[in-house]
Structure 1
């Protein structure tokens, strides 16, 4: 591997919440600036109706929040492996296949990276979660094939994959001085991925590292799931979640579940959904919550509310309490969220994360006490309850953290250099 020339290929970390692109060059940090001097591009597309054009990243969020008419699409990566991938959605009055939506966004990543690098690329290493889809190898393979087809259509002739947590491991390996047994815990927007890997300065430049990967695993839980639980526990009760009907049954939960999930928010605005809610209103004992829900729908404030919840989750990693001002929906309305409520709301998800790590250790035939380092990466890896619950499993491991959003993209750039020169 010639170390004095820039790499021929890019590494692309297409993430659920944020994306990065790495290009290996000697003596330079590999991540390319994608928007406003920042290395991340939020994985968001906004189709601006007034100007009939798609915009991406922070600009997309800003135009949406500024009140432009249009359609906001987020968590695009969650489409991979979902039934939606074979269907289409309506954008600017015409049908757009969801697969083309992925092409729009990844194409924009490619354009920005090439503009920054001052050259074009036709080879790429794409990051991928250990499982796009849990317990369904056929759907998992389909998700990978879709990404390859999208990348080929965008002009990438050679497309290969590396597991995201393994890419993060290669980024961490640049910093160590002796061999370590490392558990990489990558908690992204859509998936939690784990790799148990042997790292050392001596093995850094080997192309084939298969024997160093002791086990990989993952579970389909990420930041968007934590947002959803916080929303359901802390915010949706104000909008009728858990309301009693006159029959003593609870109000159906599907509307609130859709509102608490990024890529299903628009379903609540559908006429059919609104009619069903209007018919239900007369059967609800206390209509305060459902009336607020009508106001939210009228304001089309679902994505705005989801952003408030996401901001609260981030704030609760540093603080014990966080207040959301809901005056946009009703004068004087607000909600106080606490870290204790958040921890409790995600407890069942954290148990699944712990079980998955336990399974991984068993698969590798390694005792929990034999792990030297616990390396956290990914946008949701900072959640205190998550860190504590994982650290408690590994009594001797030293906790370390990478560039929360950048480790994977950097590692993919290193891998792209090894594979394609």
Structure 2
């Protein structure tokens, strides 16, 4: 078996691939010089040609005609995998869609390696689907089949937080008892693990991994909570209509607040129903904005603006979120306090899962020497404050938030398919 191998971090929001070759670990540029790529696809309407990553995002926001998709990872293990979807009039299954995205990543690594890569460690969350071992196993099986379909012959899996730990381990001096918090777009996963730079070459780390927990909560859920709290009310959410003062249907607003459901809103039936309700609405100004979003298919732009507000509120206390694509000179002011209140329930679930990981490992909060934060959602100030509060004696490591899982998976692939490593680099 070839000792050339790789690790693939297929994320809800961003993805990466890293090579393990000739005792070297290296992140591969997957889009120009970028070593991460947004997990996004745009299918051009004229010929269904697919574009990926930042190009896909730019095409969509430039209002090019076509179908935009994000958060595809969340479809794994669900009934949507079998149902498929209609893309510009053509029925497509999600296995083919995900495979096309991962194939473009693999091709970049194959080009750097100068040969077809056959060995891969795929990252996976601790739980693809909460409280359903059957759906969780189904999701991994689906991802394994997709990996085989794009050309991998030897496929292993590793929990994403464990991979993040491996990426940090090579730089450690001495031994550390660490908890890894991997907060991505779709899931939050935790691992308590003993780390040492002397352990990098060990092929069996089962004795070092003390516990794993995970919950299906991530940055996309933060976006949804913020949208429902601050954005959707300005589109008529929870307004009333008719003589009986009935509340308008809530489902379109909830679907409009989720990346994976927006594309299913643009049906003639729903648009017609929404137009009809507008005539009976008691808040026509706001509810008309919902009609506009559905008619002009700008749901993803609404979500992108919401995500932009979330990111802006990590650095500032107040942000005027622009929605001029809905209505001229329209913006929504949002305070960080409102955002933190909106996501407080999700943060509580995250803290509960982290605490359960400690309990399962049989260690106290005070015993943790190192907290490794990875994933874009760890940028949120409330999250950082909670982890500093939970682990008062620990150092915080939060570099390479978006690429540490990919690096760690490559380290693990070297252990599984080859021999030790020497250093971590980025291929120029």
Asked if these proteins are the same fold (TM beyond 0.5), I'd say yes
Matches of 1:26 and 1:115, distance apart in 2: 16
- Structure 2 gap ranges (5+): 419-428
- Structure 1 gap ranges (5+): 1-5
Give a deviation string over 1:226-258, Cα, whole Å, max 9, x none: 111111111111110121234234222111111
Residue 235, structure 1, aligned to residue 231, structure 2: yes
- The change in CA–CA distance for 1:355 and 1:180 in structure 2 (over 3 A counts) is same
- For 1:377, the equivalent position in structure 2 comes to 374
Residue 270, structure 1, aligned to residue 267, structure 2: yes
Matches of 1:364 and 1:52, distance apart in 2: 49
Question: So what's the TM-score if we normalise by structure 1?
Answer: 0.96
Give a deviation string over 1:341-397, Cα, whole Å, max 9, x none: 111110000011111112111111111111111110011111110111122122212
Give a deviation string over 1:303-350, Cα, whole Å, max 9, x none: 111111111111111111222222221122111122111111100000
Matches of 2:351 and 2:372, distance apart in 1: 15
> Could you say which structure has the greater relative contact order, defined with CA pairs below 8 angstroms and 6 or more residues apart?
2
> SS of the residue aligned with 1:20?
strand
8 A contact 2:119–2:417 mirrored in 1: yes
- For 1:3, the equivalent position in structure 2 comes to none
8 A contact 1:267–1:273 mirrored in 2: no
- For 1:283, the equivalent position in structure 2 comes to 280
- For 1:191, the equivalent position in structure 2 comes to 187
- Range that drifts further, 327-336 or 36-45: 327-336
- For 2:340, the equivalent position in structure 1 comes to 343
| Residue of structure 1 aligned with 2:110, choices 107, 114, 125 | 114
> SS of the residue aligned with 1:263?
coil
Say what the alpha-carbon RMSD is for the aligned residues: 1.5
Residue 416 of structure 1: how far off its partner (Å)? 0.8
Residue 204, structure 1, aligned to residue 200, structure 2: yes
> SS of the residue aligned with 2:204?
coil
Matches of 2:393 and 2:21, distance apart in 1: 36
- For 2:390, the equivalent position in structure 1 comes to 393
Aligned pairs for 1:139-178 within 5 A: 139-178=135-174
> SS of the residue aligned with 1:257?
helix
Matches of 1:157 and 1:332, distance apart in 2: 54
- The change in CA–CA distance for 1:95 and 1:51 in structure 2 (over 3 A counts) is closer
8 A contact 2:77–2:142 mirrored in 1: no
> SS of the residue aligned with 1:134?
coil
Matches of 1:27 and 1:145, distance apart in 2: 30
- For 1:356, the equivalent position in structure 2 comes to 353
Matches of 2:396 and 2:368, distance apart in 1: 11
Q: How many residues align?
A: 416
> SS of the residue aligned with 1:202?
coil
| Residue of structure 2 aligned with 1:402, choices 399, 402, 409 | 399
- For 1:245, the equivalent position in structure 2 comes to 241
Question: So what's the TM-score if we normalise by structure 2?
Answer: 0.94
8 A contact 1:8–1:123 mirrored in 2: yes
Residue 310, structure 1, aligned to residue 311, structure 2: no
Matches of 1:331 and 1:401, distance apart in 2: 40
